[in-house]
Amino acid sequence: MNKTANEGDAELQELYHDVLVDYYKDATRQGRLDPHDVHAHGVNPVCGDEVELTIRLKDGKVDAVRYGGQGCVISRASAAMMSEALEGGTLAEARKMAVAFRAFMLESAPAESLPEKLTEAAALAGVRKFPLRVKCALLGWNTLLRGLDDFAKGGRDAEYTDTPLCQTEKKMNALTFKQIGDAVGPVKDPEIHISIAELGLIYGAEIKPSTEGEGSRVKLTMSLTSPACPYGPMLLASVHGALAKIPGVRDVDVDLTFAPTWDPRTMASEEAKDQLGIF
């Protein structure tokens, strides 16, 4: 019997999911190299994903790569793929690889355009449908590019802070995205008692000047563990209240979405998955 297109797509997505989970769990290149030649630290202040990258060079090539930090399956699996692919190449090749991967994620370049060492990255193709998750996949690579730029200038300790997708103003002196992350971080799901940030329920944030007067308007996009969650109204109210207490905030909007559907296997942090019993 011939499989339908939907069945084939489902099998492919399950295969891709398995690839991501395998890389997420692979500890081969986790950790830190000391001594090292290139060091870069990157963070997404809204979702809390963080990566530390160290690279050791030998005879003009990447001898070893290690990454650390915390984040969702997508973020850490992408960092693991990157670390594996970088070893044995030059820094120039590393930069070309990063540019190719960014084109794959941001411009929907075909998987065939990826370098041979990055063929496994095709497993991240499905992420491209969800812009908020693209940033998870790109955090390690953007951190790498910042580290390479810093190294080329003689530096060895680069810092990269991701710009939230919905940021419309380059300078918002009255309010920062770190303040938003700090405010909603302590808010826990009332049913399972885990931080909504650790669960990956925060999908994005936007800061704009308030149209009602001085101060900022904050719009937070989030999801729930289930569309039928009985604690949904309570949780949304808690998030709204936490944001409203931030100095400089005048207006707050909390938008609820289920696109993409929350999946703890790919969205929750390692700590949250441990608490949920997901291994």
Could you tell me if 198 and 87 lie in one domain? no
In this predicted structure, what is the pLDDT of residue 202?
92
What's the pLDDT band for 45 if we cut at 50, 70, 90? confident
Average pLDDT of the chain?
Answer: 86
**Separation in Å, CA 120 to CA 16, 94, 144, 178, 179:** 9, 16, 19, 33, 36
- The mean pLDDT of 59-73, rounded to a whole number, is 92
Residue 250: which domain range? 177-276
- Is 54 among the domain residues? yes
Residue 261 has pLDDT above 50, yes or no: yes
**Which residues face 41 on adjacent strands?**
52, 159
Model's pTM, two decimal places?
0.64
Which are the contacts of 211, defined by CB distance < 8 A and separation ≥ 6?
A: 217, 251
Residue 104 has a pLDDT of 94
- % the chain with pLDDT above 70: 89
Task: Evaluate if residue 186 carries a pLDDT over 60.
Answer: yes
Question: Residue 239 half-sphere exposure, CB side, CA atoms within 13 Å?
Answer: 31
Are residues 34 and 81 located together in one domain of the fold? yes
Q: 206 near 166, Cβ under 8 Å?
A: yes
Structural tokens at position 243: 């944001």
Domains identified in the chain, total number: 2
* In a domain? residue 70: yes
